[in-house]
Structure 1
Amino acid sequence: MKKQIVMVLISALVIGGSNLSLPGNVVNAKQLDEVEKKEESSVFATEEENKEKDSEKEESVTEDTEETQKDIDEDTLNTEEKELEVISDHSDILESSEVEMTVPIYNYEIDNVIVPTTYAMSLNPYGLPIVVGKDNVSTEQVVSKEYGIINKSSTDKIVTVTLTVEDLNNEITFVDSEEEVKNSDDETYAVYLSIIPSDGKEIKIDGVEADTDTSASALSDVDMSGAKEQAVALHAGENHIAFRLSRATYNFDNISLSKEKPEAEEVLNLIGLSPDGRSVTAFTFGGAMNPKADWEKLSKGIKVSAAYDYQTADGTEKIIDGTGSLIAVD
């Protein structure tokens, strides 16, 4: 019952704001409440202060980080500039001595055309029997051996033969056909002198087919089948005929990578002539003479000289029908 009253009194006193003395236990309670309030206020203030300090620290850290990153960026830029300077002036580069390298072009072309070295021909206006080689007797008015040409090159070749004809009597008339010879009068020393090309059949020497081992001297007397219908007339002065010959077959062996290009004979091996049979060709001389003319009045004959040259074919040449290799000459 007393406890109730005391509580009422405290309430009344608080409400009334009196400055009456209170019992000790009441005063202590009030003081404790004030202390708690002060402590709460202090804690709150401390928390706020800590928040402000943390914020300041974060701002400081951020500023420091930004400053540090800025310093790093500046250092990087300075380093790049330094590198550029080093590259430009080579002040910090260790240089070795210069080493040169020779780079050869491994391209091989073998030029090797074999032609005859000697010739034998005679004019036979009266058809006398003339021995031409072993077991061969001719009564033709123009008697000649047959001559071979071999292409042992690594490329197709155009072989041009220049035949220079000279009349040592200054009396002979060179005509274009046998018909013109027949139509000549008794006073005309008419001669139809021609080149007869091979018709493309095998070229043989003593019954053996010409091959890579055939010598130039052997080509001065071969056996061939002639394409008489494609004969080319010769006249006084220079005359030109040409043949297209296929390349021989080679293989490469022991090509080593080195600073110097190996010689062709070190790496190229000749296997054989062209499989199409057109690495070899041949020709002979033929023709007709006016039998009505008095040939005994001429004390001299004619002179024929032969010269050869060749070049790499470009592939546009057309071989004349009926021949093995003959092409037209411009």
Structure 2
Amino acid sequence: MDPRNHTDISEFLLLGLSDDPELQPLLFELFLSMYLVTILRNLLIILAISCDPHLHTPMYFFLSNLSLADISLSTVTIPKMLVNIQAQNQHISYTGCLTQICFDLLFISFESCLLAALAYDRYVAICHPLMYMVIMTPRLCVLLILLSLLIGMGNALLHSLTVLPLSFCTNRKIPHFFCELAQVIKLACSDIFINNFLIFVVFSLFGGLPLSGITFSYAKIVSSVLRVSSAGGGYKAFSTCGSHLSVVSLFYGTGLGVYISSAVADSSRKAAVASVMYAVVPQMMNPFIYSPRNRDMKGAFRKLIRRTPLP
């Protein structure tokens, strides 16, 4: 096969999760339902936090940004998949594919950094409660959000720009439901050593550093809680971290599970099915994790419902 320069490429072919025509309507209904639930539940969290002055605190500021990241990450991948299924057209343009790669990396990195910022917020709240409002100022919170966005943008642009010089062969079939970076560079005929090296190094940094920060924060939190003389006080302090720990476990657990399954799976299609666990499920589940376990959020939801005018 003769390699072709990327300027000759007009489109790729997304093979999706299954090539069985009878399964396509079911996949469409399933992913449409998951997408709608993701959008509505995360929007509800953002509205509840915005409308309740009692929730205008650093933790809920980070939480509302996490919901925005979940909405954005789902929107990058699912709508295109739904359009392809409905139109029975699996093609995606070269520009559209690069755009998916860029924004997917942006919001994954942004969410990873947000989880670390939430862990730091809980560390300050529990280990330094008297200094909480002095340390977690609005300026610091905004700076942490901007820093997370800049890191995400840097990661996204770095990988996207290294894909641009690649030459691709005539095989342009991507065994996935969206343009995942690792799957796209596998189609290249040119040398991809630098691309693979950057994936390993950058993903180790963006996965390892935030996770190390989260681990350090919770090690300090556990140490502080164990020194609390009142068992009830210790439980109350640590219970505020339960939702965040669940979200962290879901985000990193599904990512690690997909990495392992991709390494041992005997087909790329099975790896694509496994990727649903990190590309779709965490964004849908995060609102369900935070809402029922948080008394303030439930109170904000009730206030929001009472404010909503009946038709």
Q: Which structure carries more relative contact order (alpha carbon 8 Å, separation 6+)?
A: 2
TM-score (normalised: structure 2): 0.22
Select the structure that is richer in helix. 2
Which structure would you say has the larger Rg?
Answer: 1
